[in-house]
Amino acid sequence: MGRKKKKQSKPWCWYCNREFEDEKILIQHQKAKHFKCHICHKKLYTGPGLSIHCMQVHKEAIDKVPNSLPNRSNIEIEIYGMEGIPAADLKEHERQKQGAQDSDDDEPMPKRPKPEGLLGTAPGTMPNPGLVPGLMQPAVHPGMPPGMPMGPMIGPMGHIGPPFMPPGMHMMPPHLAMMQAQASPAKPLFPSAVPVSSPGAPVVGADFKPITSGSPTTKPTFPAYTGATISAPPTTNNSMPSSSSTSSGENGKVATIATTGAASKIIHPVEDISLEEIRARQSRYQKSIPTKEDDVTASTSSAASDQLALAVSAAQQAVVNQAKQDALNHAAMLQRFQRPAGPPMMAMPGGPVTSMPLVMRPAMIPGPPTFVGANLMRPPPLGMPPGLIGMPPGVVYGAPVLPGGPMLTPMMQPRFR
Amino acid sequence: MLIKSQTEYKLKSPPEDAISSVKFGPNTNQFLLVSSWDGSVRLYDVMANTLRHKYSHDNPVLDCCFTDAVHSYSGGLDNTLKSLDFNTTTETSVGTHNNAIRCVEYCSEVNGILTGSWDHHLKLWDPRTPMCSGNYNQGDKVYTMSVCGEKLVVGTAGRKILVWDIRNMSYTLQKRESNLKYQTRAIRCFPNKQGFVLSSIEGRVAVEYLDTSPEVQKKKYAFKCHRIKEDGLERIYPVNAISFHPTHNTFATGGSDGYVNIWDGFNKKRLCQFHQYHTSVTSLSFSHNGSVLAIACSYFLEEETLPNPMPEDAIYIRTVTDQETKPKA
């Protein structure tokens, strides 16, 4: 293999052990990968340069070179291309390459883009931090440099083990190396998914995924969101544990959430009620809550009258509270009928005239907040909007949609109690 | 990698129990309204880092809002909507619901205060004559709501979403089921009024559009976030808080994982992630010009086994830059 002979002289990046066809590309790589400011994306020239920039411009201290191998993260060492690499590392790298020459694989590596959102995975997650310096990390590692072989290479590499370079690493055609050096850092999906201060925790969850059913024709850049559809039952196929949340109301029990899946756990109590409701049940908040079970009664009554209601209903509690509730409702009803009819509020953006606040600075303008942007409201078009449920096709937009009964004016709002 | 710096500081004399809501004033970075489970609503001067005023409810307060620079409204487990005039420090009990008031929002377009309650109802209040001027059934417990111009988006238990026109509350504009499989945690509307962002307890956020035409609806999507993988187990956290940058239409999310992320919803990009806070992020608020973000942290009983010691309740004031909040062109 004639190509192999060139390997010895290839420039390589001290921070991530990648090799390049040309020192110019290596420098491009270092600027884009290792010397780029995570805040303003300015490309600096050296590690110390980046450190000084971040301190002076952003008041942030950086203690590691981004995207570097754990033992090569020193920000103090001034390395530019191949200049400045410690002699010991240079020697070690040469030695590794000699050893790797024995491995026989001249297949050019298929280029796979590095999974985005993993930029700068903190060094703590490296699987083998104790590897010999200068050695390539296994390709399966999320923090690997872009362009490392994946897929078919994973197998063989697993067997080869530390003494060998992964075969094919030196065989990367120049144009591929070029592409990586130039293209891949240029378009990170999550450019700011830079290391945060928690080494050991990989940056997860940055995968935006479109809802496929809602957008069958769009060509998403991201993998399809397998689960929820616009009005699908919550039991659609999904690797996540299924929730019984929507079945509440039909059965009389408190709905629960399957919080524990095979490889995941939702950090939430199993009851499908809000964290605030759960917290409110604590005894220290109980002492003076006047009508705690109103909700139960309300849901029972509205479920009878209104198929919308999906709330938890507890019949026995409802009975207990019925008398109290009736009285309350009666009072509430009377109160309501004493209120003025007509449109609830007139548009009066000026609001009440308020005197200049004593506690505020004189420069402040009292008055309601102004919303940014023009009034964009327009009526939705006729027809069946995909997001609407409970509105049969053909219903003229604007008709009362709430099936609970005639909701003509606020005053007339029925409650069916 | 990032070390804490001058970009962020903690507010002095924080609430003594979990923080339910933080809201910046309508036209200054200076004042922050904070409601808490200790039954109090506090007004902080975040520039001077002092507590300026405090008033109390009989029970934990779940939400609060400014109506203008000098008036606040708040409600909670005592079912009562209260208002305070900061000039005169006069407290007024405006009215009640039949159950806890979960959300308090102000709509400048109609100059009305909206309250959403666990009694399944939404009430509209007129600040000039403090009385209820409308009561509207939402079909289930109101968990979250957000005003978007003259529209109101309500998220209830049972994963329902209702869209109302506040100028004409005689019918529901739209009724939807959440695109997310799990309980709705928070909804906030885009400042450009095109849509809203919805988060669930299952580490997921959906970007939705109000326009129901199929072309616009095609753009909606959802994504996973606020998840931490440890030893092969993915811990999925509720996304408790959303706050929009007032001008860039980007938004911050805060989760029970203690992280705050800033997203560009239109370009499907994460703009940045802050360091991990010591406990759950329960509320977020950008200031009126988007230069400062208030971050409320309180442990919220997400897990059965309580951490020991209990994490303290804290509010961080963080200065954010355009690099962190502006869509990358």
Give the pLDDT of residue A11: 87
What's phi and psi for B183, nearest 5 deg? -45, 135
Contact A217, A281 (CB under 8 A): no
Q: Which of A194, A295, A399 sits opposite B141 (nearest CB)?
A: A295
Helix axes A315-337, A294-305, angle to 10 degrees: 80
User: What is the extent of the structural domain holding B155?
Assistant: 8-325
Instruction: Tell me what ipTM this predicted complex has.
Output: 0.91
Tell me if B99 and A291 make a contact (CB, 8 A cut-off): yes
In this complex, the residue of A249, A280, A357 whose CB is nearest that of residue B100 is A280
Restricting to B residues 79-108, those with a Cβ less than 8 Å away from any Cβ of A are 79, 86-87, 98-100, 102, 106, 108
Is A197 within 8 Å of chain B by CB?
yes
Domain-embedded: residue B238: yes
Spans in chain A with pLDDT lower than 50: 1-2, 4-7, 102-252, 289-417
Determine the number of helices (DSSP H) and then strands (DSSP E) in chain B.
Answer: 2, 30
- CA atoms of B146 and B240, how far apart (whole Å): 14
CB pairs under 8 A between A and B: 459
> What span, in angstroms and rounded, lies between the C-alpha atoms of A147 and B28?
48
Quote the pLDDT of residue A288: 55
Residue among B112, B194, B247 minimizing CB distance to A376: B194
Q: Do B172 and A238 touch (CB under 8 A)?
A: no
Helix, strand, coil percent values for chain A (each to nearest 5): 30, 5, 65
Give the closest of A209, A210, A387 to B176, CB-based.
A387
CA distance B105 to B321: 27
Taking the CA atoms of A351, A356, A358 and A359 in sequence, report the sign of the dihedral they define: positive
* Cβ count near A225 (within 10 Å): 25
Q: Using alpha carbons, list the distances in angstroms from residue A149 to A111, A137, A376.
A: 7, 11, 49
Q: What's residue B5's pLDDT?
A: 52
**Domain-located, residue B3:** no
Is B158 within 8 Å of A248 when comparing Cβ atoms?
yes
Q: How far apart are CA B101 and CA B125, in angstroms?
A: 13
CB contact under 8 A, A61 and B58: no
Rounded to the nearest angstrom, the minimum Cα separation between B296 and chain A is: 15
Torsion of CA A405, A294, B128, B31, to 10 degrees: -120
- Does residue B137 fall inside a structural domain? yes
Kind of pairing between the strands at B184-189 and B227-230? unpaired
Please report whether residue B2 resides in a domain.
no
* pLDDT string in tens for chain B (329-residue length): 444 457 889 998 999 999 999 999 988 889 999 999 999 999 999 999 999 999 999 999 999 999 988 899 999 999 999 999 989 988 989 999 999 999 999 998 889 999 999 999 999 999 888 788 889 999 999 999 999 888 999 999 999 999 999 999 889 999 999 999 999 999 999 999 999 999 999 999 999 999 989 999 989 999 999 999 888 889 999 999 999 999 999 999 999 999 999 999 888 989 999 999 999 999 999 999 999 999 999 998 777 777 778 889 999 999 998 888 988 86
Q: Which of these, B179, B215, B208, lies nearest to B193 by C-alpha position?
A: B208
pLDDT tens-digit profile of A116-151? 443 333 333 344 444 444 444 444 444 444 444 444
Q: What is the pLDDT of residue A99?
A: 64
CA torsion sign, B127 to B129 to B130 to B133?
negative
Number of separate domains in chain B: 1
Question: How close does chain B come to A202, measured CA to CA in Å?
Answer: 7
B13 contact A CB<8A: no
What phi and psi values does residue A317 have, to the nearest 5 degrees? -65, -35
Radius of gyration of chain B (CA): 19
List CB contacts (< 8 A) between B218 and chain A: 214-215, 217-218
pLDDT at position B302 is 77
Q: Which helix (H) or strand (E) holds B164?
A: strand B160-165
> Could you give the CA distance from residue A401 to residue B181 in angstroms, rounded to a whole number?
23
- The predicted pLDDT at position B153 comes to 95
The CATH number of whichever domain residue B277 belongs to comes to: 2.130.10.10
Q: Is residue B1 part of a domain?
A: no
How many other C-beta atoms lie within 10 A of the C-beta of residue A183?
12
Amino acid A272: pLDDT:
86
SS3 A94: helix
Residue B97 covered by a domain: yes
Q: Do B86 and A343 touch (CB under 8 A)?
A: no
Chain B residue numbers with beta carbons less than 8 Å from the beta carbon of A39 are 272, 321, 323-324
Q: List all residues of chain B from 31 to 70 with a beta carbon under 8 Å from chain A.
A: 31, 37, 52-53, 58-60, 62, 66-70
CA B242 – CA B293 distance, rounded (Å): 11
Nearest chain B alpha carbon to A75: B1
Q: Which residues of A touch B194 (CB under 8 A)?
A: 376
User: Distance (Å) from the C-alpha of residue B284 to the closest C-alpha of chain A?
Assistant: 16
- Residue B30 forms part of a structural domain: yes
Q: Check B137 against A413: CB less than 8 A apart.
A: yes
Instruction: Kindly report the number of other CB atoms within 10 A of residue B329's CB atom.
Output: 4
Cis peptide bond prior to A379, omega within 30° of 0: no
pTM above 0.90, yes or no: no
Report the chain A residue with the minimal C-alpha distance to residue B230.
Answer: A201
Tell me how far apart the alpha carbons of residues B279 and B297 are, in angstroms, rounded to a whole number. 6
B9 touches chain A (CB under 8 A): no
d(CA B288, CA B28): 6
- Interface residue of B140, B178, B260, B267 to substitute, partner A, most A CBs within 10 Å: B140
Residue count (chain A): 417
Q: Is the CB of residue A328 less than 8 Å away from at least one CB of chain B?
A: yes
Q: A348-356 contacts: CB < 8 A, separation 24 or more?
A: A348/B110, A348/B111, A349/B108, A349/B109, A349/B111, A350/B111, A351/B67, A351/B68, A351/B108, A351/B111, A351/B127, A352/B68, A352/B111, A352/B127, A352/B128, A354/B68, A354/B69, A354/B70, A354/B71, A354/B87, A355/B70, A355/B87
Measured between beta carbons, which residues in chain A are less than 8 angstroms from residue B221? 208-211, 214-215, 220, 225
**Res B231: pLDDT:** 85
Cα angle: B262, vertex B265, B267; to 5 degrees = 110
Closest-approach residue (CA) in chain B for A38: B272
In chain B, which residue's Cα lies nearest the Cα of A295? Answer: B119
Q: How far is CA B34 from the centre of its chain?
A: 11
Question: B265: closest CA among B210, B186, B209, B306?
Answer: B209
Q: Do A202 and B229 touch (CB under 8 A)?
A: yes
